[in-house]
Structure 1
Amino acid sequence: MSKLDKTIAVMDLHVGSDIADVVELSPLAHVGLPARGGPASISRIVRAKASSRTLVASAVLEEASVTGILVLRASTGKEALASALQTTLNVKLPERLASHSISDKYCVRWMSPDEWLLTCPLDEAFELENKLRAAADGPIAIVNVSGGYSLLTLSGESALKVLKKSTSYDVHPDSFGPGKVVNTVMAKAQVTLRAVGEDRYEIIVRRSFADYLWLWLQRAGKEYGLEAFSLTAS
């Protein structure tokens, strides 16, 4: 084993030992958010009837667990990247402004004509990166940026209203349907916005802007009784 291989192996072991305590890696750990009680509890919150003094929580904001994120680039080797994704994950390379998902674990998003963003479980990012490199039969570039971004989810019957208050992009369902991905500005932060399904949206934002955007969305959703949760909370 070369010196470089040994260094990578040590780094991989170190990262693996830290994954068990992902709360410390979250840029929002200091907020002290409650843990999500599961889809059933959120459903009860969203559908709860309001009393004369209580707001209905018709929007839910969640911070996802720290996620593995790989930037994929291929200017002249799109076929090689497409083949590598098909071989490794059995997923097609998305076309313009689209995304392809495999369950809730993996999702590939179109970012630009020669760039895509792949999310995966944090503890699989290093291995997946190596598998894609090995499967590619042409020039591609892969960069692991897992520690540099945060993933938020906004859902509920008023989620669209909160989005409209936060971005100038046309998020009407007729032009921003499930699976569509855009790079846009939300408040004053650059984000990657994806329509996951009806009344459910995914926001990927740089780690340094996570706290700012979180506070913005909480204020934007206040009139809808927005509830906030963290998937990293225990």
Structure 2
Amino acid sequence: MSESVNHTDRANTYDACPGADIAQESPLAWSFFNSGAPAPRPNSRVVLRELADRDHLILRGGAIVLDEAVRQVLGVGLPSRPQQLVIFNGGVSSLQWLSPDEWLLIVPFGQACRVETELRQVLGGASVAISDVSAGQTLVELHGEDLAMRELLMKSVAYDVHPRNFPPGKGVTVVMAKSSAILRRPDDSRWELVIRRSFADYLYRWLLDAGEEFEIGVDRNS
């Protein structure tokens, strides 16, 4: 059993950080092997890439107290507007508004434990929840021709992805095919999907099928 670490006088937390010697497998590793991963070609109008080298944390609590802690630890404030997405740390980290008291924090692989520990130390006895959900979901990137990416998404989600309604810096939870996902647009050149591990293979195969007309390719270099 993991050793209990007492950060405050109100509750115990546990060191759940995986050891460096523990093998880890991305949610799409099985899919690449069993469903195939067509390499990008010169005529590929859409390229899919799993960004498996990321850790995911859910932050829940009061916006003011969490914002102060996040600023101290990460040097960036919480998104304050609904559906707002903030990209930082050279594009490899992000903070996304999910609800009035919930945010998704994505950081480089291996940093979740450090970030969580530092946040808890700053927060002290504040009533917040920080959950490491890295093993339960993954981040998938789509890049390529703008119109092809939007047409692929229009075949997959009911949400309006026109630039007037979905500018860069926005992220929403959507129904995708017969599952759900978080759809994000970090900048003009790419889209991102946060998908649950249990539906990763289904949505991966859906995207391959829906993207066939665009000669979709899969970039395995994450």
What interval of TM-score do these two structures reach, taking the shorter chain for normalisation?
Answer: 0.7 to 0.9
More strand by share: 2
Instruction: Output the TM-score relative to the length of structure 2.
Output: 0.85
1:183 aligns with 2:170: no
Q: Is the 8 A contact 1:66 1:150 kept in 2?
A: no
- CA shift, 1:198, in A, is 1.6
Q: Deviations over 1:104-161 (max 9, x none)?
A: 2310000011100000122110110011111226322111111000111111111111
Structure 2 counterpart of 1:97: 83
In structure 2, C-alpha distance between the alignment counterparts of 1:153 and 1:165, rounded to whole Å: 17
Alignment-mate amino acid for residue 101 of structure 2 = D
Structure 2 counterpart of 1:125: 112
Alignment-mate amino acid for residue 4 of structure 2 = L
In structure 2, C-alpha distance between the alignment counterparts of 1:205 and 1:218, rounded to whole Å: 15
Q: Is the 8 A contact 1:16 1:123 kept in 2?
A: no
Alignment-mate amino acid for residue 26 of structure 2 = S
Q: 1:224 aligns with which of 197, 211, 214?
A: 214
Instruction: Output the TM-score relative to the length of structure 1.
Output: 0.81
- CA shift, 1:199, in A, is 3.7
Q: Is the 8 A contact 1:159 1:199 kept in 2?
A: no
Structure 2 counterpart of 1:67: 54
Q: Is the 8 A contact 2:69 2:123 kept in 1?
A: yes
Aligned positions, number: 207
**1:197–1:82: structure 2 CA closer, same or farther, 3 Å change rule?**
same
Structure 1 counterpart of 2:131: 143
Q: Is the 8 A contact 1:80 1:139 kept in 2?
A: no
1:197 aligns with 2:183: no
In structure 2, C-alpha distance between the alignment counterparts of 1:105 and 1:224, rounded to whole Å: 27
Q: Secondary structure at the match of 2:76?
A: coil
Q: 1:134 aligns with which of 101, 115, 121?
A: 121
Q: Is the 8 A contact 1:153 1:202 kept in 2?
A: yes
In structure 1, C-alpha distance between the alignment counterparts of 2:138 and 2:213, rounded to whole Å: 25
Alignment-mate amino acid for residue 91 of structure 1 = V
Structure 1 counterpart of 2:10: none
- CA shift, 1:34, in A, is 6.3
**1:26–1:185: structure 2 CA closer, same or farther, 3 Å change rule?**
same
In structure 2, C-alpha distance between the alignment counterparts of 1:107 and 1:73, rounded to whole Å: 16
In structure 2, C-alpha distance between the alignment counterparts of 1:62 and 1:106, rounded to whole Å: 16
More helix by share: 1
Q: Which runs of 5+ in 2 are unaligned?
A: 7-12
User: What RMSD over aligned residues (CA atoms) do the two structures have, in Å?
Assistant: 2.4
Q: Secondary structure at the match of 1:70?
A: strand
- Give % identity: 36
